[in-house]
């Protein structure tokens, strides 16, 4: 997730068990682009001990080929092409999910990258741009070009994060593609993880927002897969996580107000799993200082009761970035 699951966040996640595989933030690729140094650091300084996939976003075949070859000079497990980002600033430039409106161009890009990439080549996609009418054609293109692994987020680009996830269409990809498929979308609890694996038949899960809310999630899922009881953190565990996160993602000389604003990106995701009224989320969005930030956190989290951290069905404005289904 851009500007969120960066190198400092990866470093912190290792203390909670971490994922089996990490995807970088996306390298923005265009005619005169160069590798982003901060994102490249997550590859060359990888603190996780796990494989890393380098993710690209763009629509210029020659530039994507050049960047893929540059990335393959570094210790990566694969090069990934993002066909799923639903951010308007991205898709309006016909990148990320915007490319799903131009499958002929996708065909050319996939062909150029498959020829250029000597190692593994992966793709993350959604079901389509505004609907899934061309989904089968997209899957055929992914098979045609020998993509090594595909991640499917079970919504369209137009859906954003608001609608229910179409796990049945992720299963369709599993049935149609000769390569492994990862399921993505609303996987925020061990129960949901097991259910999605069963429902889709996928080879694995890609998790983003759920891990920001609950860094224990990866270990909880591993316990569930072993048939063991997983651990729920208590409020003070979550408070300690927030404190560690505050320190982990701060720069060498952070401006307090700006750093508090950055923390709100993380606390947005955490906030929907703290309490059922939405009051924690309301208050944390309105703080401006470190002192006020932690005053709110302590009032809601300084306790010894177990916290499931599952999303509550909060009443949010239609345009709220967290409005929609979270699972």
Cα–Cα distance, 325 to 327 (Å, whole number)? 6
Provide the token pair at 101: 């409106």
Residues 6+ apart with CB under 8 A from 26: 2, 39, 55, 56, 57, 82, 85, 96
Provide the token pair at 22: 């990490």
Count CB atoms within 10 A of the CB of residue 12. Answer: 18
DSSP assignment of 221-288: HHHHHTTPPPPPPBHHHHHHHHHHHHHHT--SS--HHHHHHHHHHHHHHHHTTT-TTSHHHHHHTT--
Cα–Cα distance, 292 to 272 (Å, whole number)? 19
Active site residue ranges: 85
Cα–Cα distance, 33 to 35 (Å, whole number)? 7
């Amino acid at each position: 997730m851009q500007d969120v699951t960066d190198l400092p966040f990866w470093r912190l996640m290792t203390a909670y068990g971490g994922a089996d595989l990490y995807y970088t933030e996306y390298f923005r690729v265009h005619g005169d682009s160069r590798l982003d140094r901060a994102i490249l650091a997550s590859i060359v300084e990888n603190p996780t001990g796990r494989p890393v996939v380098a993710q690209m976003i763009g629509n210029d075949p020659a530039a994507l080929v050049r960047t893929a070859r540059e990335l393959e000079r570094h210790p990566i497990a694969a090069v990934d092409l993002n066909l799923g980002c639903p951010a308007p600033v991205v898709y309006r430039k016909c990148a990320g999910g915007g490319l799903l409106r131009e499958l002929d161009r996708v065909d050319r890009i996939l062909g150029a990258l498959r020829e250029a990439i000597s190692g593994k080549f992966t793709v993350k996609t959604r079901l389509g741009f505004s609907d899934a009418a061309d989904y089968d054609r997209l899957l055929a293109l992914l098979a045609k070009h020998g993509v090594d692994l595909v991640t499917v987020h079970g919504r369209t680009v137009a859906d954003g994060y608001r609608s229910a996830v179409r796990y049945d269409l992720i299963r369709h990809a599993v049935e149609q593609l000769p390569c492994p498929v990862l399921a993505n979308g609303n996987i925020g609890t061990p129960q949901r993880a097991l259910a999605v694996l069963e429902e889709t038949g996928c080879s694995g899960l890609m998790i983003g927002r759920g891990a920001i809310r609950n860094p224990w999630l990866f270990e909880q899922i591993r316990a569930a897969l072993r048939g063991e009881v997983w651990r729920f953190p208590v409020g003070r565990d979550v408070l300690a996580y927030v404190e560690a996160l505050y320190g982990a993602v701060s720069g060498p000389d952070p401006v307090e107000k700006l750093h508090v604003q950055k923390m709100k990106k993380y606390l947005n995701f955490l906030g929907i799993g703290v309490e059922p009224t939405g009051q924690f989320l309301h208050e944390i969005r309105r703080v401006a200082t470190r002192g006020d930030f932690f005053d709110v956190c302590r009032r809601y989290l300084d306790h010894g009761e177990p916290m499931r951290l599952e999303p509550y069905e909060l009443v949010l404005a239609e345009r709220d970035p967290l409005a929609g289904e979270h699972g």
